[in-house]
Amino acid sequence: MLFNGYPFLVFYAIVFAIYVLLARRTRAQNLLLLVASYVFYGAWDFRFLGLIALSTTVDYFAALAIERSASERLRAVWMGISMVANLGVLGVFKYLGFAAESFCDLAAVFQLTVSLPVAEIILPVGISFYTFQTLGYTLDVYRGRTKACSDPLAFAVYVSFFPQLVAGPIERANHFLPQIRQARTIRRVDLAIGTQFVLLGYFSKVVIADSMAPLVDQFYAAPERYGGSIAWLANLGFATQIYGDFAGYTLIARGISRWMGFRLISNFKQPYLADSPRDFWRRWHRSLSTWLRRNLYFELGGNRLGIARTCLNLMLTMLLGGLWHGASWNFVAWGGYQGLLLVIEHWLPDHRGGNQRPSLPRRLFYKSGTFLLMLVGWTLFRCSSLSEIGTVLQQMFFGNFYDSRALAFAWPILTAFTVMQLLDCWREKARSELILLRAPAMVRIAIYTFFVLSIMSVGFRRITFIYFQF
């Protein structure tokens, strides 16, 4: 079920109605959420419910064993079991075919013919999200950052909670598990905040992101047929699309969760207003950035082992972050590009000037430069192969810039990007996500009406969320 589909709206309405009827009965509500989550995920392909059940079972018992074991060796064994189970499932379903294909290609370079019989494996939707979430839980228990959950029902809900199951945010156990175990009340303020999140989320996805998809797809179907101006516009369109798509999903997930009394973490913080690559990764997909920083970068030594080792750690972390997004060399290239930006920034002096606020022209220069770097990076992300990356970059930097068809691309893309950035500038200025709730009542009603009418006029076009493939 897609959020941007009528079946989900009916599904959620039924679940929410029953949830309200079970008020003050926390365990009954949790049982409802578990059943609803499995129905939601099973609607994609019921065969993959076993993978969620496997991760849930292994990590539930592994965490308890880690906490109760007096022997460090035994604790490490149970942690290893959790890692093998989670990363093994992820490796088989997501990376086995890619590894086999890459090995055959490498053999061909040396004029060797190798054929590996690997079956076509269907990638379970959202597998990277829930495996990282449950693996992060056992890692936190192993390091003493959180207590093991002794309630199997609560833990099963933590792993499979349907609003954030297939595209995050990746929740930490010490933030989300207490919310599952405690009694929840639906308050008027939660309904108001949830409504803002849901309407803004659907507007970002249905009106902004989905309107960009046909233009971006048109260019990437044959990039060699277009001039440099359209290449840049198409990549701006994709930057708008992926942000509206992913941030829109997160807002909808946070909104429908808030209606039920849950508070999911914020996954985005105006990323295209960042003034450096490091600042961008503090704002974009923050739950994944936090996961990688805590469970990989710091474990590799972080910045404690000298500048050379720090740069290596940054590069390895971002390469893994790129590979997390997909089993393809374009994602490896994208991760390497992001790692290189972070390494270069680490070598350069801090441009923020300590406690002194930089001048407005200087801030605009760094924000614009960072956005252009990220825009080039999205080219690597959107392309499906290294050869396509070469074609698109050739058109962007060395091709004939003029293209008479550019106007047809320019006005919808620039309009959508401007609307998105105006909303982000408003949030950045207010230093709050709840900009609409803080606006005067008539302004809020007018904006909500505009959102609803825009969504209704566009309609649900059944365009899937980009991050569902990860």
Residues catalogued as catalytic = 325
Q: Quick check: helix, strand or coil at residue 5? A: coil
| Dihedral, 253, 254, 256, 260 alpha carbons, nearest 10 | 130
Nearest residue to 367 (alpha-carbon basis) of 271, 279, 274, 236: 274
CB-count exposure of residue 119 (10 Å: 0-12, 13-18, 19+): exposed
| Dihedral, 84, 88, 90, 96 alpha carbons, nearest 10 | 150
Q: Alpha carbon of 350 to those of 125, 277, 441: distances in Å?
A: 40, 12, 42
Angle at 207 (CA atoms; ends 205, 212), nearest 5 degrees: 80
What's the rounded Cα separation, in Å, for the pair 111 and 309?
Answer: 37
Helices and strands, number each (H, E), in the chain: 20, 0
| Dihedral, 208, 214, 220, 221 alpha carbons, nearest 10 | 170
Token representation of residue 251: 């807002």
What does 346-404 look like in DSSP terms, one character per residue?
HHSPPTT-TTSPPPHHHHHHHHHHHHHHHHHHHHHHH-SSHHHHHHHHHHHHTS----T
What's the rounded Cα separation, in Å, for the pair 80 and 103?
Answer: 27
CB-count exposure of residue 79 (10 Å: 0-12, 13-18, 19+): buried
What's the rounded Cα separation, in Å, for the pair 305 and 55?
Answer: 34
Alpha helices, DSSP H, located in 161-204: 173-181, 188-202
Neighbouring C-beta atoms of residue 98, cutoff 10 Å:
18
